[in-house]
Structure formats: C-alpha cells, structure tokens
Amino acid sequence: MTHKPMHQARQALAFHPKCAAKCRSGEPCKNPAMKNGRCRMHGGKSTGAPIKHGQRTKVAMELKQADQRLLADLKKCI
C-alpha cells in the first residue's frame, strides 16, 4: 500500500462538520466548517481593519456649522 496524503485528507474531510450556511442555489454549503460553524467564505475571520464610524461625519458637521455661521454673519452685514 502506498502513502497518499491527498487521498487521506479528502477522506478525513468527509467526517469533518460542514458549513451551516446555504448557497445561492439553496443547497447547504459543502465546505468544512471552522469553530464558529461557518466556512471561511460564510463567516470566517475578518480581513480588514474595523471601520471608524463618525470621524468623517463629525468633521462634515463642524464644516457645515462653520458655513452656517459665516452665512448668518453675511446676512447681518447686508
């Protein structure tokens, strides 16, 4: 008998728990699941930095308030 690592790996995947997500076709995903019950494509680890909410909004609001103050001052001069 020869040693075939890929064959053994495929056989081991048959007993591995499967992803709990459903694909577009409605069938369950056939990929192996991680600890969270989903595969790497349906809920794996994050690949990017967290989004910083409110930073741009805060700057935009400050600029808008400054514009409104300038307009109010101009209206007083007229």
State residue 76 phi and psi, 5-degree precision.
-70, -35
Cross-strand bridge partners of residue 72? none
Q: For residue 73, count other CB atoms closer than 10 A to its CB.
A: 9
Are the CB atoms for 74 and 68 separated by under 8 Å?
Answer: no
Q: Report the C-alpha gap between 29 and 41 in whole angstroms.
A: 10
Residue 33 is predicted with a pLDDT of 86
Higher pLDDT, 1 or 53: 53
Predicted confidence (pLDDT) per residue in 26-71, tens digit: 888 888 888 888 888 887 666 666 666 676 778 888 899 999 999 9
Q: Report the C-alpha gap between 59 and 65 in whole angstroms.
A: 10
Q: What are the domain boundaries of the chain?
A: 8-42+52-77
pLDDT above 90: residue 12: no
Q: For tokens 């997500």, what's the residue?
A: 21
